Amino acid sequence: MARIIVVTSGKGGVGKTTTSAAFSTGLAKAGHKTVVIDFDVGLRNLDLIMGCERRVVYDFVNVINGEANLGQTLIKDKRIDNLFILPASQTRDKDALTLEGVGKVLEELSQEFDYIVCDSPAGIERGALLAAYYADEAIVVTNPEVSSVRDSDRVLGILSSKTRRAEKGEEPIKEHLLLTRYSPARVQKGEMLSVEDVGEILAIDLLGVIPESKSVLNASNAGVPVILDQQSDAGQAYEDAVARFLGEQRPHRFLSEKKGFLGRLFGS
**Structure pTM?**
0.93
Confidence of residue 8 (pLDDT cuts 50, 70, 90): very high
Least confident of 12-21, 36-45, 163-172: 36-45
Report the pLDDT averaged over residues 123-143.
93
Cα 23 from chain centroid?
6
Least confident of 61-75, 78-92, 136-150: 78-92
Instruction: Select from 145, 212, 148, 202 the least CA-distant residue to 177.
Output: 202
Least confident of 36-45, 144-153, 206-215, 219-228: 36-45
Confidence of residue 260 (pLDDT cuts 50, 70, 90): low
pLDDT of residue 123: 81
Is the per-residue pLDDT at 5 higher than 50? yes
Cα 161 from chain centroid?
21
pLDDT of residue 268: 45
Residues facing residue 34 across a β-bridge: 83, 115
pLDDT of residue 196: 95
